[in-house]
Amino acid sequence: MRPNELTALFASAQSINGVGPRVLTFLKKALRLPPGVSDPRVLDLVWHTPTGVIDRRAEPTVAGAVPGTISTLKVRVLKHRPSPRGNTKAPYKVGCEDDTGRLDLIFFHMERAFIERQLPEGEIRYVSGRVERYGDLLQMVHPDYIVSPDRRDDLPMLEPVYPLTAGLSGKILTKIVRHAVEQMPTLPEWQDAAWLVQQKWPGFNEAVLRLHRPSDPADVSTGSAAWQRLAYDELLAGQLALSLVRQSQKSRPGRIVTGNGEIRRRILAALPFTPTGSQVTAIAEIEADMAAPHRMLRLLQGDVGSGKTLVALMAMAIAVEAGGQAALMAPTEVLARQHVETMAPIAEKAGLTIGLVTGREKGKPRREVLDRLASGEIDIMIGTHALFQPDVHFKDLAFAVIDEQHRFGVHQRLALQAKGGHGGAEVLVMTATPIPRTLLMTHYGDLDVSRLTEKPAGRKPIKTTSPAIGRLEDVIDGLKRAVTQGAQIYWICPLIESSETSELAAAEERHAHLTQVFGEGVVGLLHGAMPGPQKDAVMAAFSADQLKILVSTTVIEVGVNVPNASIMVIEHAERFGLAQLHQLRGRVGRGDRQSYCLLLHDEPIGETAQERLKMMCETEDGFLIAEKDLELRGGGEVLGARQSGLPEFRVATVPNFSELLGIARDDAKMLLERDPELKSPRGEAVRKLLYLFECDEAVRLFRAA
């Protein structure tokens, strides 16, 4: 149960004075909410960290105010000079003075009664904002703050600057966040006292306060003592949660699953190639885990095209040899169908029966497939989230594979695991997103890791170049030649943020342009908003070589397999993260043809984007690319978390992320060795830390698994 003193933090943001339904809508857009949370809570405001600070501490006289700077001035209101009647473009001016000079306050499109209430003639007011010179006069256009002497303390001398959204002003958000921070209860210290002294870090409550009510501009820097303290808290919470999960899982008896090797021999005989060394090693590691008496906790990490599907099929074959069934859960329907197409020919030769269930199967066909599954006729069931629906029953699920693990939450992993009898199915999770070693322990610390580091024999390197978008016509001329030689092409349109043009509109526009150039029936269009059957029809036409060019949004990032497609054009490549560029490039280079990737970019581009494109041109090694991504982004937005689906941090976006993470891992390990049930005073305090960073759910679920 969540401790009572934290209840106020998990209440809706609407419990804060000034947050009504309209403001709540803006907050939904401005705040980064954790997965599964749709409405902002008080805690989400506390973790909405500032990106900078406005310094209002300069309090010169009017004569001493420097044009172009933010100043806080104490003035007497002299006279109101409203806009001439009928001239809405003219400003409303309010003349003010102090003993050294005069200043005009300027307002556009403001209600007269409001200005008169704020600035009564003859009264003293503090005004804060940017001072500008207009001719011989000093002026302040739309002061940020106007306060009477008795409200002087309401004026934030150091005002945090927060990420905003249209319709939400900085002033309103600052006020709301301040109210949220006031809800923070005084909590017991969970950090080791000697460690806090050594680091010169403040207590938790003081750290939160310094971030949102800084007493020095440096307080809102990620290197400040306050920010470092909170970043370490978050990393420690994550490491503790993963360790508890691992401790709980490893202590639970697993199902011993062993086979006689018969089906695996038939699979290997049906393969047109020999498995790579790392595939053989990974299969052996999984086989040993399945045969062990404890729960299996393994992540299969394989770069694009490294052959994870074969490893998964061999592992599922062990379950079938043992008399059980297996399941493979994919994040999208496209990927689920792709797995069926890839596995079916080999499975058939090996005598395995494969079924498919997605959200699209309805009525009688769905019932028939599910009946065959329940009777044990289907050996391997492939599907999407539909796999863990209540009406899906296995006769005996012994082994489950979860593909692209980061697209699913803990709930889904457990829901699928629970469909297995005898204490639950063994689970293997897979990802094609190469993850740096540092981050493996952040997000997958509860799992053993198998890595596929080689590509199947015969795969040619993909030649990658990064032409500027100004050379678009040259690129299209090159594509015309390639098409006449039988090549097929992906053309990816960018994700467009903060723009009136949607990702979809950009793809439709490019599709129309390329159709003009190449003619009708040559260019297809694929995007996320299309109905499933329509997507399938386009993909089928492209796979069958009826379409030569496929214009797509990033929907094709994971799992699409068309061996004849040998050219990948990524438009506005500078807008993509390294991980996503690498995933997209992995859609080509799967056949006999020499493959190419063209990273079309705008000019000029920033230094970081330039580094990304350079890295893509230099290497195809996903693990090297992932390390570079971590270096360029820092640990906060892991591999482009919003692009790859990996969790983001709330405050641990700090320059020394890796170093703090290593210490947090050791600290968590030592704490749990001394106090495995968190019953000591520090352990009790740490429980509150787990709730604060919402790691409690994972721990609770795994304990209940």
Which H or E run includes 603?
A: none
**What pLDDT is attached to residue 316?**
96
**What pLDDT is attached to residue 266?**
96
314, burial (CB in 10 Å: exposed 0-12, middle 13-18, buried 19+): buried
Contact 583, 597 (CB under 8 A): no
**Cα pseudo-dihedral 577, 579, 585, 591, rounded to 10:** -170
**What pLDDT is attached to residue 25?**
92
pLDDT tier for residue 249 given thresholds of 50, 70 and 90: low
Which three-class secondary structure string do you get for 84-120? CCCCCCCCEEEEEEECCEEEEEEECCCCHHHHHHHCC
**Above 70 in pLDDT, residue 437?**
no
Q: Which residues contact 230 (CB under 8 A, 6 or more apart)?
A: 204, 207, 208, 211, 651
Nearest to 189 by CA among 525, 689, 581: 689
**Above 50 in pLDDT, residue 390?**
yes
**Above 70 in pLDDT, residue 633?**
no
- Rounded CA separation 103/136 (Å): 10
Contact 339, 327 (CB under 8 A): no
- Rounded CA separation 180/565 (Å): 53
SS3 48: coil
- Rounded CA separation 176/20 (Å): 11
Tens of pLDDT, residues 158-215: 999 999 888 888 889 999 999 999 999 999 999 999 999 999 999 999 999 999 999 9
**Above 50 in pLDDT, residue 704?**
no
Helix, strand, coil share of the chain (percent; to 5): 45, 15, 40
424 CB neighbour count, 10 Å cutoff: 21
Contact 311, 299 (CB under 8 A): no
Spell out the alpha helix ranges (H) of 252-362. Answer: 262-270, 277-291, 308-321, 333-349
Bond into 604 cis (ω within 30): yes
pLDDT tier for residue 32 given thresholds of 50, 70 and 90: confident
- Residue scoring higher pLDDT (696 or 678): 678
Average pLDDT, the chain: 86
Residue written as token pair 């959200």:
359
The arithmetic mean of pLDDT across residues 338-358, rounded, is 92
Contact 600, 467 (CB under 8 A): yes
Contact 469, 601 (CB under 8 A): yes
Phi-psi category of residue 572: left, alpha or beta, with phi > 0 → left and psi -120 to 50 → alpha: left
- Rounded CA separation 651/656 (Å): 13
Tens of pLDDT, residues 442-501: 666 667 888 888 877 667 889 999 999 889 999 999 999 999 999 999 999 875 443 445
**Above 80 in pLDDT, residue 663?**
yes
Q: Which residues contact 697 (CB under 8 A, 6 or more apart)?
A: 410
Domains of the chain from N-terminus onward: 1-50+165-180 (no CATH), 57-155 (2.40.50.140), 296-452 (3.40.50.300), 463-619 (3.40.50.300)
